[in-house]
């Protein structure tokens, strides 16, 4: 009996005009998005490789001069464009993805200002998550706004309820059918996109990518379920279908436009951070204090017989403290940046659309998950590089083993083969890390769905069908 209800509903939907129209729109967008992705990704890849190889050449020339020269130079490292960005790019182009570091210190991250055309208004990329969150989310509401109120207006609801079927089953049947239909609308688009990607050869399909796609589909099903439950709820609490439609539109506008766009404003009020100007000033002050302290030390030894080595040791201390002063302040500031950003995400979690975006971002291991991982890996790499360097330096009898972060006087001037210098390798987030990033959004999406559906269940059981 249950399957009868579901099948009947699906049948009705499949014949409907709105389904065909959406299907065409979705196919169009998926096709266009994939083609544009392939072009854009190839170009991004090329420019990334160009940057990477010039950087590498520069580093090689430093290392080939002598190793300690390589250690003290400040260099940048950029994260590679992800090849699974067709699922979601997680707005990585607008996020920091460049690190500044030397062998002695990791300085910070920044948004590369050359990643995009700044004369053009920033726009969202047409990837799977965008299409699903905007178009499918909208369509699901369009499919579900008149599930109950529409039937009531037709007069069919009274007839259906008069069958020996429990109301709960009827509602569940309607609900499941909407989810199924939405997924059916989506599938041809995804298949089309996959075919285009496969034929182009721009993306290598491996196990991880397939798992990511599966995860995306599961996330989509959950998102669709959430939106459908909201649509269902609105169709029950209103008596007329056009009012229900208005309520649905308000829900959609709220979650697509209002919440994500006002998150910035409310975050600044709720999770304030120090201004970058004041941080700069504090660093300046701390560094000046270091300089003043060491000026006194230099003055004390002036005129006495100081050996060059003792001088180098003094420099080392000063420079080390100078770097440390900056690093302590910068690190706490960077942490506050992450804290503020996580806060903004929690604010945006009111909207199921934002939740879905966060969920898929974590599933593909992009965006914030990626940045945080790369950031901590970077510090790890830097300390390993320093340890390695100290090992090499220890073997050099001519070196004074003075590890000054900005002068090479006291360190080995031997030339080392650049190939054996450890290089930073970005490691992709593991399954556990991705799941950890997705935890909150997953839980909230499920909670929203369950609340909306159980509320509509209760209300439908008490519904007046007349």
Partner 1 sequence: MILNIAFKEFYTNLVSARFAIGFLLCLLLIPLTLVVNINDYKSKVTAYETQQKEAKEKLKIRVWSYLQPRIVRPPESLSILSRGISYQLGNYVDLTFTAKPFKAQGKAGASDNPLMGTYFSVDFCTILAIVLSLLALLFTYDACSGEREQGTLKQVLSNSMPRSSVLLGKVLGACLTLMPIILFCYLLCALAIVLSLHIMFSADEWLRMGLVLLASILFFATFAFLGLFVSSVFRHSAASIIVCLLAWVFFLFVVPNVSGYVAGSLLETPSEKALDANTYNFTYEKWREAKKFRGEQPRGAFAWEDSRPAAGGAIETSGATPVFLEWYRQGNKVVYNHMIESAEGRWLLEKEFVDKQDRQRLLAERLSMVSPSQVFRLLSSSLCRTDVESYKRFMESTHRYREELIQYLRNGNLFDSYKFFTAVDPNKMMNEDEYINYRTEGLLKTMAELDQWYKDNPDKSWASIYTRDEPSVDRASLPLLDLSDVPPYQGVPGGVALSLKDSLVKLAVLVCICVILFYLSFIAFLRYDVR
What whole-number distance in Å separates Cα of residue 117 and Cα of residue 119?
6
DSSP 115: S
Contacts of 303 (CB under 8 A, 6+ apart): none
- Shortest CB 462 distance to partner 1, Å: 23
Q: Would you say the C-alpha torsion 357, 359, 364, 365 has a positive or negative sign?
A: positive
- Shortest CB 182 distance to partner 1, Å: 14
Question: Long-range contacts for 344-347 (Cβ within 8 Å, ≥24 apart)?
Answer: 344/263, 344/264, 344/266, 344/267, 344/271, 346/440, 347/259, 347/263, 347/266, 347/267, 347/270
Cβ proximity to partner 1: between 278 and 383 the closer is: 278
For residue 155, the SS3 value is: coil
Give the closest residue to 89 by CA, choosing from 124, 131, 113, 114: 124
Cβ proximity to partner 1: between 167 and 294 the closer is: 294
Q: Would you say the C-alpha torsion 152, 157, 159, 162 has a positive or negative sign?
A: negative
Cβ proximity to partner 1: between 120 and 432 the closer is: 120
What whole-number distance in Å separates Cα of residue 322 and Cα of residue 315?
10
Cβ proximity to partner 1: between 76 and 180 the closer is: 76
- Shortest CB 349 distance to partner 1, Å: 14
What whole-number distance in Å separates Cα of residue 449 and Cα of residue 432?
24
Give the closest residue to 246 by CA, choosing from 390, 152, 149: 149
Cβ proximity to partner 1: between 31 and 416 the closer is: 31
Cβ proximity to partner 1: between 91 and 390 the closer is: 91
What whole-number distance in Å separates Cα of residue 346 and Cα of residue 354?
10
Give the closest residue to 197 by CA, choosing from 45, 360, 30: 30
Cβ proximity to partner 1: between 61 and 122 the closer is: 122
Give the closest residue to 445 by CA, choosing from 367, 368, 362, 366: 362
Cβ proximity to partner 1: between 71 and 95 the closer is: 95
């Amino acid at each position: 009996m249950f399957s009868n209800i579901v099948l009947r509903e699906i049948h009705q939907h499949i014949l409907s005009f709105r389904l065909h129209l959406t299907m065409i729109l979705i196919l169009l967008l998926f096709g266009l998005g994939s083609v544009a992705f392939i072009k854009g990704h190839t170009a991004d890849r090329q420019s990334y490789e160009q940057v990477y190889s010039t950087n590498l050449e520069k580093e090689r020339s430093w290392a080939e001069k002598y190793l300690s020269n390589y250690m003290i130079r400040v260099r940048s490292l950029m994260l590679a464009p992800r090849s699974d960005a067709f699922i979601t790019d997680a707005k990585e182009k607008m996020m920091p993805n460049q690190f500044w570091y030397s062998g002695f210190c990791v300085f910070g991250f920044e948004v590369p200002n050359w990643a995009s055309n700044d004369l053009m208004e920033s726009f969202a990329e047409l990837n799977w998550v965008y299409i699903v969150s905007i178009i499918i989310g909208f369509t699901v509401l369009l499919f579900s706004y008149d599930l109950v109120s529409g039937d009531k207006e037709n007069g069919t609801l009274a007839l259906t309820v008069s069958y020996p079927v429990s109301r709960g089953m009827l509602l569940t049947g309607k609900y499941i059918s909407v989810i199924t239909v939405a997924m059916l609308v989506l599938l041809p688009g995804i298949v089309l996109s996959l075919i285009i990607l496969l034929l182009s050869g721009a993306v290598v399909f491996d196990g991880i990518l397939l798992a990511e796609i599966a995860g995306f589909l599961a996330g989509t099903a959950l998102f669709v379920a959430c939106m459908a439950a909201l649509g269902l709820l609105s169709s029950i609490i209103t008596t007329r279908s056009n009012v229900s439609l208005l309520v649905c539109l308000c829900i959609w506008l709220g979650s697509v436009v209002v919440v994500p766009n006002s998150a910035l404003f409310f975050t600044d009020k709720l999770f304030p951070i120090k201004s970058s100007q004041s941080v700069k000033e504090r660093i300046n002050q701390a560094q000046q204090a270091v300089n003043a302290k060491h000026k006194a030390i230099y003055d004390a030894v002036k005129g006495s017989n100081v050996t060059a080595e003792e001088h180098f040791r003094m420099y080392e201390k000063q420079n080390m403290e100078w770097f440390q002063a900056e690093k302590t302040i910068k690190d706490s500031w960077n942490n506050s940046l992450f804290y503020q950003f996580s806060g903004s995400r929690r604010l945006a979690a009111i909207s199921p659309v934002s939740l879905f975006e966060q969920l898929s971002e974590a599933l593909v291991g992009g965006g914030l998950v990626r940045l945080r991982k790369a950031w901590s890996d970077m510090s790890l790499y830097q300390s390993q590089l320093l340890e390695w360097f100290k090992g090499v330096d220890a073997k050099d009898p001519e070196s004074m083993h003075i590890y000054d972060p900005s002068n090479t006087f006291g360190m080995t001037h031997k030339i080392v083969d650049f190939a054996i210098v450890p290089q930073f390798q970005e490691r992709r987030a593991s399954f556990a890390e991705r799941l950890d990033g997705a935890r909150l959004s997953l839980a909230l999406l499920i909670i929203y769905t369950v609340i909306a559906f159980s509320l509509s269940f209760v209300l439908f059981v008490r519904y007046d069908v007349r």
